[in-house]
């Protein structure tokens, strides 16, 4: 028995990824509505051997819809999400609109699937860097509670959407041709460059992306006391985020114990080949469902063998966004 689906933001990078993941995983649906802004109304989209016409996203788009996958930005989620709920749909929202609302479950299926049942019509998908960072931390935290996390992210262009990925490609060509790079999607040149994440700065000197990781991790882990500090950076990579993560545990833990725990952890692949200096790269993670983990080593600056360093890579469009939302939807059907 299938359900009636709607996808809001179908023409964006995550919207397109929704379709390929729904097809790959053979998600059971009876009907599907393709929704986008008025600009994309009337566009044709091929999906599973059928041609669909994109409809304009309005308050009246959700009659008969069971599950609505939203990736149309926070303002549209706030505008149209409640209308979808009113029409009887459950919204799985990929934006930041509802994540920190205490009434809204913030879900990573490998970590807190039980929260799905507590929804009041909206379930929030966490931020991409949060998902990719904490999927491999959770199985460790369950065995030996993490007291403190220090995270540095290396985030792909895809996190800023299709236009940003295109800009990376265009700028690379412009620079190689000796031309001045055109900046539209990002405030600075992304090709051959690295800059602090382009989200808004907060009064404490952290940007919005960094604070999302702090606040969302505490909510998902149901652990408000966990100490987290974060630096988020954009790098010239198309679609996979990397993160350097330093963990301080309550009790002693060895790299071998970490490897063993992660070797059976859902959604995680260990890629930790010291002999050949071969560890996760964005090109390894692109197109993959799992978060890849390597560089697993003791932090010798923390007393009592309570510190571990890891390096992770994960596909921002898949596990960081569309896949996580589809996994939530799967739990509901």
Task: Name the residues annotated as catalytic.
Answer: 128, 241
Residue 28's CB: how many other CB atoms inside 10 A?
A: 13
**CB of 50 within 8 A of CB of 83?**
no
| Pairwise CA distance, residues 13 & 6, whole Å | 16
- Would you call 152 helix, strand, or coil by DSSP? strand
Place of tokens 């998600």: 27
Token pair 């091929």 in the structure block, residue? 46
The answer to whether 69 and 19 have CB atoms below 8 angstroms apart is: no
Helix (H) or strand (E) holding 229: strand 227-234
C-alpha 259 chain-centroid distance = 23
Pairing of strands 291-298, 195-196: unpaired
4/35 Cα distance (integer angstroms): 13
Main-chain phi, psi angles of 277, to 5 degrees: 50, 45
Q: How far apart are CA 133 and CA 285, in angstroms?
A: 13
CA nearest 325: which of 131, 79, 81?
131
- CA quadruple 37, 24, 130, 331: dihedral sign: positive
């Amino acid at each position: 028995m299938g359900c009636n689906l709607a996808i809001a933001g179908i023409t964006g990078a995550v919207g397109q990824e929704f379709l390929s993941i729904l097809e790959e995983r053979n998600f059971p649906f009876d009907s599907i509505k393709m929704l986008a802004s008025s600009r994309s109304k009337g566009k044709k989209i091929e999906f599973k051997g059928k041609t669909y016409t994109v409809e304009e996203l309005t308050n009246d788009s959700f009659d008969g819809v069971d599950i609505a996958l939203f990736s149309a930005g926070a303002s549209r989620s706030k505008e149209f999400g409640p209308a979808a709920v009113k029409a009887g749909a459950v919204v799985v929202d990929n934006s930041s609109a509802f994540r920190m609302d205490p009434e809204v479950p913030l879900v990573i299926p490998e970590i807190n699937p039980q929260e799905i049942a507590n929804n009041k019509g909206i379930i929030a998908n966490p931020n991409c860097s949060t998902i990719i960072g904490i999927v491999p931390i959770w199985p460790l935290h369950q065995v030996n509670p993490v007291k403190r996390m220090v995270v540095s992210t290396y985030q792909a262009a895809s996190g800023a959407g299709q236009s940003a990925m295109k800009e990376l490609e265009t700028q690379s060509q412009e620079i190689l041709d000796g031309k001045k790079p055109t900046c539209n999607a990002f405030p600075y040149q992304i090709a051959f460059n690295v800059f602090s994440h382009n989200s808004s700065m907060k009064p404490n000197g952290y940007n919005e992306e960094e604070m999302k990781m702090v606040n969302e991790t505490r909510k998902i882990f149901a652990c408000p006391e966990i100490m987290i500090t974060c630096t988020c950076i954009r790098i010239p990579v198309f679609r996979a985020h990397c993160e350097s993560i330093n963990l301080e545990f309550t009790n002693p833990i060895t790299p071998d114990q970490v490897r063993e725990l992660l070797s059976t952890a859902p959604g995680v692949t260990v890629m930790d080949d010291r002999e050949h200096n071969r560890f996760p790269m964005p090109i390894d993670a692109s197109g993959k469902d799992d978060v890849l983990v390597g560089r697993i080593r003791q932090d010798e600056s923390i007393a009592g063998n309570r510190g571990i360093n890891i390096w992770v890579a994960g596909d921002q469009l898949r596990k960081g966004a569309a896949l996580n939302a589809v996994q939530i939807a799967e739990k509901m059907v």
